[in-house]
Protein backbone atom coordinates (compact mmCIF):
# COMPACT_ATOMS: atom_id res chain seq x y z
CA UNK A 1 0.00 0.00 0.00
CA UNK A 2 2.88 2.36 0.77
CA UNK A 3 4.29 1.91 -2.74
CA UNK A 4 1.02 3.01 -4.33
CA UNK A 5 0.84 6.06 -2.07
CA UNK A 6 4.38 7.05 -2.99
CA UNK A 7 3.61 6.57 -6.68
CA UNK A 8 0.52 8.81 -6.43
CA UNK A 9 2.52 11.48 -4.62
CA UNK A 10 5.32 11.37 -7.19
CA UNK A 11 2.96 11.44 -10.17
CA UNK A 12 0.99 14.33 -8.67
CA UNK A 13 4.15 16.30 -8.06
CA UNK A 14 5.43 15.63 -11.58
CA UNK A 15 2.06 16.68 -13.04
CA UNK A 16 2.10 19.95 -11.11
CA UNK A 17 5.72 20.62 -12.12
CA UNK A 18 5.08 20.09 -15.84
CA UNK A 19 1.85 22.13 -15.74
CA UNK A 20 3.70 24.98 -14.09
CA UNK A 21 6.60 24.70 -16.56
CA UNK A 22 4.20 24.70 -19.54
CA UNK A 23 2.40 27.78 -18.18
CA UNK A 24 5.68 29.65 -17.75
CA UNK A 25 6.70 28.80 -21.33
CA UNK A 26 3.34 30.03 -22.65
CA UNK A 27 3.68 33.27 -20.69
CA UNK A 28 7.17 33.93 -22.05
CA UNK A 29 6.09 33.22 -25.63
CA UNK A 30 3.15 35.60 -25.26
CA UNK A 31 5.39 38.29 -23.79
CA UNK A 32 7.93 37.92 -26.60
CA UNK A 33 5.27 38.14 -29.31
CA UNK A 34 3.79 41.34 -27.91
CA UNK A 35 1.18 43.24 -29.92
CA UNK A 36 0.02 46.86 -30.09
CA UNK A 37 -3.35 46.63 -31.86
CA UNK A 38 -6.60 46.92 -29.94
CA UNK A 39 -7.55 43.39 -31.02
CA UNK A 40 -4.16 42.20 -29.85
CA UNK A 41 -4.57 43.97 -26.53
CA UNK A 42 -7.98 42.37 -26.01
CA UNK A 43 -6.57 38.99 -26.94
CA UNK A 44 -3.65 39.56 -24.58
CA UNK A 45 -6.04 40.50 -21.78
CA UNK A 46 -8.09 37.35 -22.44
CA UNK A 47 -4.95 35.23 -22.53
CA UNK A 48 -3.68 36.81 -19.32
CA UNK A 49 -7.00 36.05 -17.64
CA UNK A 50 -6.86 32.47 -18.90
CA UNK A 51 -3.28 32.07 -17.65
CA UNK A 52 -4.30 33.43 -14.24
CA UNK A 53 -7.16 30.92 -14.11
CA UNK A 54 -4.75 28.12 -15.02
CA UNK A 55 -2.34 29.26 -12.31
CA UNK A 56 -5.14 29.41 -9.73
CA UNK A 57 -6.29 25.94 -10.78
CA UNK A 58 -2.75 24.62 -10.38
CA UNK A 59 -2.52 26.20 -6.92
CA UNK A 60 -5.76 24.44 -5.93
CA UNK A 61 -4.43 21.18 -7.40
CA UNK A 62 -1.24 21.57 -5.39
CA UNK A 63 -3.28 22.01 -2.20
CA UNK A 64 -5.25 18.86 -3.05
CA UNK A 65 -2.08 16.86 -3.66
CA UNK A 66 -0.62 18.07 -0.37
CA UNK A 67 -3.85 17.07 1.41
CA UNK A 68 -3.71 13.66 -0.24
CA UNK A 69 -0.08 13.26 0.81
CA UNK A 70 -1.02 14.10 4.40
CA UNK A 71 -3.92 11.63 4.39
CA UNK A 72 -1.78 8.86 2.93
CA UNK A 73 1.07 9.48 5.38
CA UNK A 74 -1.35 9.46 8.34
CA UNK A 75 -2.97 6.22 7.13
CA UNK A 76 0.43 4.59 6.69
CA UNK A 77 1.51 5.71 10.17
CA UNK A 78 -1.73 4.40 11.70
CA UNK A 79 -1.33 1.07 9.88
CA UNK A 80 2.22 0.69 11.18
CA UNK A 81 1.09 1.52 14.72
CA UNK A 82 -1.65 -1.13 14.51
CA UNK A 83 0.88 -3.68 13.27
CA UNK A 84 3.33 -2.80 16.05
CA UNK A 85 0.62 -2.93 18.74
CA UNK A 86 -0.44 -6.36 17.56
CA UNK A 87 3.09 -7.76 17.84
CA UNK A 88 3.77 -6.55 21.38
Q: How many domains does the chain have?
A: 1
Query: Over the chain, what HEC string results?
Result: CHHHHHHHHHHHHHHHHHHHHHHHHHHHHHHHHCCCCHHHHHHHHHHHHHHHHHHHHHHHHHHHHHHHHHHHHHHHHHHHHHHHHHHC
**How confident is the model at residue 38, as a pLDDT?**
64
**pLDDT tens-place string over residues 36-46:** 456 667 878 88
**How confident is the model at residue 77, as a pLDDT?**
92
Containing domain of residue 18, as a range? 2-87
pTM: 0.51
Amino acid sequence: MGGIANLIIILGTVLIFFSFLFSIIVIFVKLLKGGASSKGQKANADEAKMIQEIYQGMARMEERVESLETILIERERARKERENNGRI
